């Protein structure tokens, strides 16, 4: 589905699907179920993707595109490198707070959905690397091996995304990102 070919109704349906998926997950729904819940026809849903999997992938892409824009806006606001990094990681946490446990379980269990989340985690990890390198360069962080710190952060981000952190310590993704932000800043902030 190309963004330029979507109608206002399609955009509205994508938003409604996103709200439904975030609240209840998506694995158990059929296209017929979704059509009933959204008061539309299945053919209208097929305009959002050629199959339920395609519709789901498009909804998830919408979620992550919107989240990325909001996260970047939060990170751009502060000028201090530490505040930028914290703002970035906390904004990631805030975006994930809307995701219910069924939504997160469905992502972990669904290969196409998991691939979308993994791709966005890699993008976020690269952005964290940039923020750390910039902070070291600007003197906002003590001289650390920025690539190493960023690699550790990226590893934890992957463990959060895969559900390993929640299984190991019981932290929802959003709470884990809050803890990660606090840990990283306390470790690299200038004394």
The CATH number assigned to the domain holding 138 equals 1.10.357.10
Average pLDDT over residues 119-124: 86
Looking at every residue in the chain, the average pLDDT score rounds to 89
On the question of pLDDT at 60 being above 90, the answer is yes
Average pLDDT over residues 30-48: 94
| First-to-last C-alpha distance (Å) of the chain | 50
pLDDT greater at residue 39 or residue 151:
39
Three-state secondary structure readout of 125-188: HHHHHHHHHHHHHCCCECCCCHHHHHHHHHHHHHHHHHCHHHHHHCCCHHHHHHHHHHHHHHHH
Cβ neighbors of 59 (< 8 A, separation 6 or more) are 14, 17, 18, 21, 26, 48
Chain Cα centroid distance, residue 1:
21
The pLDDT score that the predictor gives to residue 6 is 66
The pLDDT score that the predictor gives to residue 3 is 45
The pLDDT score that the predictor gives to residue 5 is 52
* pLDDT tens per residue, range 67-86: 999 999 999 999 999 899 98
| Total domains in the fold of the chain | 1
Query: Which residue range(s) make up the domain with 106?
Result: 3-188
Average pLDDT over residues 146-169: 86
Nearest Cα neighbor of 105 from 25, 180, 167 is 25
Whether this prediction's pTM lies above 0.85 is answered by no
Q: In Å, what is the CA distance from 36 to each residue of 2, 32, 44, 45?
A: 25, 6, 12, 11
């Amino acid at each position: 589905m190309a963004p330029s070919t979507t109608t206002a109704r399609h955009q509205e349906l994508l938003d409604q699907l996103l709200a439904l998926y975030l609240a209840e997950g998506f694995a158990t729904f059929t296209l017929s179920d979704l059509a009933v819940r959204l008061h539309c026809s299945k053919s209208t849903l097929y305009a959002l993707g050629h199959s339920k999997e395609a519709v789901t992938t498009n909804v998830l892409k919408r979620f992550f595109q919107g989240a990325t824009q909001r996260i970047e806006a939060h990170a751009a606001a502060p000028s201090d490198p530490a505040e930028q990094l914290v703002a970035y990681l906390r904004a990631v946490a805030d975006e994930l707070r809307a995701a219910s446990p069924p939504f997160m379980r469905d992502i972990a269990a669904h290969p196409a959905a998991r691939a979308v989340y993994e791709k966005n985690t890699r993008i976020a990890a690269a952005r964290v690397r940039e923020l750390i390198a910039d902070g070291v360069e600007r003197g906002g962080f003590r001289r650390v091996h920025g690539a190493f710190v960023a690699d550790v952060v990226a590893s934890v981000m992957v463990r959060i995304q895969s559900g390993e952190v929640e299984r190991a310590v019981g932290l929802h993704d959003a709470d884990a990102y809050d803890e990660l932000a606090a840990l990283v800043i306390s470790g690299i902030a200038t004394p």
